[in-house]
Structure 1
Amino acid sequence: MNVYTTDKIRNVVLLGHGGAGKTSLSEAMAYLAGITSRMGKVEDGNTLSDFDKEEQKRHISISTSTIPLEWDGHKINLLDTPGFFDFVGEVEEAMSVADAAIIVVSGKAGIEVGTERAWELCEKYKLPRMVFVADMDIDDVSYRQVVQDMTDKYGKKMAPFNLPIRENEKFVGYVNVIQEKGFRWEGKEVVECEVPEYNQANLKLCRDTLIESVAETSEEFMDRYFNGDTFSEAEIRAAVRSNVCDGTIVPIEMGSSTLCQGIYTLLDDIVKYMPSPENRKMAGINTSTNEIFEADFDFSKPKTAFVFKTMIDPFIGKYSLIKVRSGVIKPDDVMYIANKETEVKIGKLYVLQGNKATEVPELHAGDLGALQKLDISTGDTLSTKANPVQYAKMDISTPYTYMRYHAQNKSDIDKIAQSLAKLAAEDQTLKVVNDAENRQTLLYGMGDMHLEVIQSKLLNVYKVAIDLTKPKVAFRETIRKNSDVEYKYKKQTGGHGQYGHVKMRFAPLGDVTKSYEFDQEVVGGAVPKNFFPAVEKGIAESVLRGPLAAYPVVGVKATLYDGSYHPVDSSEMAFKVAASNAFKKGFMDATPVLLEPIVSLKVTVPDTYTGDVMGDLNKRRGRVLGMNPSLTGKQVIEAEVPMMELFGYCTQLRSMTGGSGDFEYEFNRYEQAPSDVQAKEVEARADKVAAANSEE
């Protein structure tokens, strides 16, 4: 592949709802650009970008793929992203390095939740965008309806650049709005034709809207517009490019990926109207001077690059995908990683087309490439030691859906840990948490499908099997009343016996952030001072697994006020055992209760779903605290909900809101569990309590 300078590069991300046709569009573009000799199909599992076995099995994109194309003396780096919400982390990685977006809308399905989310992402990252309406070869598709719906939703900035020509219910050509000409497909040729009569009125409307936008780009144009002057095609195109780059116009184009129709025009328009990286600002921090380093994709500045994605394949090894943010990177360059204070020699430079690596002699500022087998991670900044730079990390969504996992085969535990570490290096939204307190290992992801894919990858790629089960909830135990108990531990075996005698009071501490507080009020040396630590140790060990349901104990005050000892048989061990048994008895006498974790939940949904969501939260024993409008025009419902009721919430929320709802939560406090929940939990944990007692 040739070397391209910054002004000849276009980094374009494909966004849209799952199944809208992003991968098919990238396949058609690759075919037209001459990368492939025949177009692959998602259903056949032979597309360039869906190379992973899981993607081929499920017929969906799971990770972002890069497909660099050469077109009209330019390089277009296509980033084909997943449309399913469980893989949003992949989309966010691509957004962090894209300079423009194409939102793919299925002409058959129209605007879907994924379309709206794609638009919101473009707004968040301030990306210029185009809309491509796919599936135009289906006879009952209404392009006009999609344009109307997009205009109703996003305003007059939507500008159709072409209109379909249909004959005998077949998609045979298009009308170019800028040129006011018709074109037909005849075999592989595109032939000019008359604009059909039925297109004339719509063409005039679209053309007028476009000319209005052009007129608004300068005062001179505005004057000419009001004086009734016409604009030349070159003037219109220059003004449109300026408007597309600043987001005041969003072109709408259409075609059929399977028939490769409308794709040639789209590729041309990406080159003509989409911005190159040189138009974008980019700044980092020089870590040695603490000054701002304005990279701005300038090839003449010191070289820096950002690692936006990691790919680890058992067969082809590890690739780190980078975007060069300044300078020109060449093979054998020695780069410095400021946050790790290490240097790496980069060796060869590659560009990846799907999973196929092609060597390149250099990468200019703004270009995307790949480095192989280096000790670098997603989010790292590569710079030089003379000019150490750190760029901000990507904004990646936090995973809130989690499951407990077990190795099916105990001997695989280490291998599973290593495999999960590799998967987590690739996927920023996958988290592995060791919950030592509840003796469980948890897998966090963006949804049930995400965790299912991880489980499947472990089995098929790394040859280890795990089971995913419902996680244990971190209950706590405490007491509500006071108790006063006495326990005498006496054991006589030949020689020295064991003797420890304690009288203790137990009371609620009023502070559930502490496990216990120990105090002594012994008078007259009934229990010698040197045994006080042993008594406290007995309490400290007992609170780890409470007598009610073997959960950790919180908020208990234990006071030793009397007892007795034997000058020969008393020992620290005897007093520890006596204190431990006194605790069990005293705890159960003082009205023990289970405390359950309560989280502060925020659910972001469109207005229409607020009633359904609140009703569902009430069923989950939630307390709705209020509702506030969000910056994206949705409603944020704030509530407090027991942690145990959130299991499976991601799937339920998506089905209730058609995929448009999001949620986040954080631990708030512990609160007494209702009696029915307590009874059920105590019964379920009876064997754990018995096991804890038998260990004594």
Structure 2
Amino acid sequence: MGDKAQTHPGAAGRAQAADHPQSVRNVVLVGHSGSGKTTLVEALALTAGAVNRAGRVEDGGTVSDYDEIEHRQQRSVQLSLVPVEWDGIKVNLLDTPGYADFVGELRAGLRAADAALFVVSASDGVDGSTRMVWEECAAVGMPRAIVITHLEAARADFEEMTRICAEAFGADDPDAVLPLYLPLHGPQAPDGHAPVTGLIGLLSQKLFDYSTGERKESEPGEDQLPLIEEARNRLIEGIISESEDETLMDRYLGGEPVDVKTLIDDLERAVARGVFFPVLAAAPATEGARQGLGTVELLELVTRGFPTPLEHETVRVTTIDGEPRELKPCDPDAPLVAEVVKTSSDPYVGRLSLIRVFSGTLRADQTVHVSGHGLADRGHEDHDVDERIGALSTPFGKQQRPVSHVIAGDLACVAKLSRAETGDTLSAKDDPLLMEPWQMPDPL
């Protein structure tokens, strides 16, 4: 995880349709407004080759903030999906707004995701609402990682912010919140600030230099290794303490060297199980650069450490009459069960429903059954109707890229479902099912 010098050619402009749940990762970005979520999505899309140049929030040129209101306010106000591809894996990045006014959009992102990236600004720290979302994720065992941004700020201190994150998020076990890399600083500027130009991998003990705008790997000097020894030993002990091999700690404390591959494998399993929460650093690419600092390491964490939809807890479903129904976890050949996680209106397409398929395969031109929970106090009438699926598409910000089908574990948009509301279930018309409802917040 992380310590590979791999670049990726990307797939700018291509519609992505996953062929198996194992090749999908659904990741929601969480953090207070201004922490850098949208900028991070843009940097990841650039590194993955999904865009040819990174847009800026200030210029209204980012992929995920495309609404006129977002351009005017220079902040996210709605959930946005940006899929990218890395190492043969489709990564659905769900960018959420940070203000409490739009908490419904955040809840929709959490419902659609299997893991969360908590974005923390090095200059602002961790706020109360971010802690609350962390606790919600912990309650359901959602895997999480922490990304520290704004390292260019004059008062940014990665080590101090890592300590703050361990206190905020690691109340039960501070040694479960540890960095995988330490920042490397370039020459000191006249104002005394030394910019971060690269990273050093604590496990691999390799240097990753981003100063040229493209990641370059090298060996550290002998004077640099002692600087990471304490952090490296603490990371190794934190990983081993979560290892499924109970003899590993005794062997390590007895002086037996532990293979780096073994440590990485144990780290990936601990992250996927939601018991270890790595801390990484990231920064947007500079003008003309191909890769932003830390973006390769972050994409490798997501594709190798975060769980596949197959590892998502099986959803609870019943028949329309309330009889429980058992489903295989995320099986594309099982009966169709999908959920509308967001409903919006497009000026050209009309009504758009963002859906996650939890079971089966949804196909264009298919007739499905739409089941609603009848939340009368929210204006949702109880309904059980059949509707025909029109066009299916994979959203990329405001773009809609047509696809022919969507398998279990993936996300897509369905156009013109006239009766479907957020939280409704889509299932086969001859085998109608209903998913357990998710908690929507009261409007503010």
**What is residue 270 of structure 1 aligned with on the other side?**
302
* 1:378 paired to 2:439: no
**What is residue 203 of structure 1 aligned with on the other side?**
228
**What is residue 111 of structure 2 aligned with on the other side?**
96
1:514-544: CA deviation from partner (whole Å, max 9, x where unpaired): xxxxxxxxxxxxxxxxxxxxxxxxxxxxxxx
* 1:42 paired to 2:57: yes
**What is residue 407 of structure 2 aligned with on the other side?**
364
Q: In the alignment, is the contact (CA less than 8 A) between 1:137 and 1:255 conserved in 2?
A: no
Higher RCO, Cα 8 Å, sep 6+:
2
**What is residue 352 of structure 1 aligned with on the other side?**
395
How far is 1:370 from its partner?
0.6
**What is residue 433 of structure 2 aligned with on the other side?**
389
The TM-score normalised by the length of structure 1 is: 0.55
Question: Tell me, what secondary structure is at the counterpart of 1:366?
Answer: coil
* 1:249 paired to 2:276: yes
Runs of 4+ in 1 over 6 A off after TM superposition: none
How far is 1:133 from its partner?
0.5
**Larger C-alpha radius of gyration, 1 or 2?**
1
- Distance (whole Å) between structure 1 residues aligned to residue 164 and residue 50 of structure 2: 35
Which of 171, 177, 194 is residue 158 of structure 1 equivalent to? 177
How far is 1:67 from its partner?
0.6
* 1:180 paired to 2:199: no
**What is residue 17 of structure 2 aligned with on the other side?**
3
How far is 1:20 from its partner?
0.4
- Residue identity matched to 1:294: L
Change (3 A) 1:285 1:396: same
1:559-581: CA deviation from partner (whole Å, max 9, x where unpaired): xxxxxxxxxxxxxxxxxxxxxxx
Q: Which moved more, 1:90-99 or 1:202-211?
A: 202-211
Which of 331, 338, 342 is residue 364 of structure 2 equivalent to? 331
Which of 231, 237, 245 is residue 264 of structure 2 equivalent to? 237
Q: In the alignment, is the contact (CA less than 8 A) between 1:293 and 1:389 conserved in 2?
A: no
1:258-296: CA deviation from partner (whole Å, max 9, x where unpaired): 532111211111101011110011221123570233352
- Residue identity matched to 1:3: A
- Distance (whole Å) between structure 1 residues aligned to residue 122 and residue 285 of structure 2: 13
Question: Tell me, what secondary structure is at the counterpart of 2:326?
Answer: strand
**What is residue 75 of structure 2 aligned with on the other side?**
60
- Residue identity matched to 1:12: V
**What is residue 506 of structure 1 aligned with on the other side?**
none
- Distance (whole Å) between structure 1 residues aligned to residue 320 and residue 258 of structure 2: 51
1:561-613: CA deviation from partner (whole Å, max 9, x where unpaired): xxxxxxxxxxxxxxxxxxxxxxxxxxxxxxxxxxxxxxxxxxxxxxxxxxxxx
- Distance (whole Å) between structure 1 residues aligned to residue 184 and residue 249 of structure 2: 32
- Distance (whole Å) between structure 2 residues aligned to residue 307 and residue 191 of structure 1: 43
- Distance (whole Å) between structure 2 residues aligned to residue 226 and residue 21 of structure 1: 40
Which structure 1 segments of 5+ residues have no match? Answer: 400-445, 447-696
Question: Tell me, what secondary structure is at the counterpart of 2:57?
Answer: coil
- Distance (whole Å) between structure 2 residues aligned to residue 322 and residue 307 of structure 1: 4
Which of 100, 104, 109 is residue 124 of structure 2 equivalent to? 109
- Distance (whole Å) between structure 1 residues aligned to residue 239 and residue 62 of structure 2: 39
Question: Tell me, what secondary structure is at the counterpart of 1:219?
Answer: coil
Q: In the alignment, is the contact (CA less than 8 A) between 1:283 and 1:295 conserved in 2?
A: no
Question: Tell me, what secondary structure is at the counterpart of 1:156?
Answer: helix
**What is residue 309 of structure 1 aligned with on the other side?**
342
Q: In the alignment, is the contact (CA less than 8 A) between 2:205 and 2:225 conserved in 1?
A: no
- Distance (whole Å) between structure 1 residues aligned to residue 310 and residue 240 of structure 2: 26
Q: In the alignment, is the contact (CA less than 8 A) between 2:205 and 2:219 conserved in 1?
A: no
* 1:291 paired to 2:305: no
More strand by share: 1
- Residue identity matched to 2:284: S
Q: In the alignment, is the contact (CA less than 8 A) between 1:283 and 1:296 conserved in 2?
A: no
Change (3 A) 1:124 1:372: same
Question: Tell me, what secondary structure is at the counterpart of 1:325?
Answer: strand
Change (3 A) 1:59 1:186: closer
How far is 1:220 from its partner?
3.3
* 1:343 paired to 2:390: no
- Distance (whole Å) between structure 1 residues aligned to residue 435 and residue 412 of structure 2: 18
What does 1:465-480 correspond to in 2, within 5 Å? none
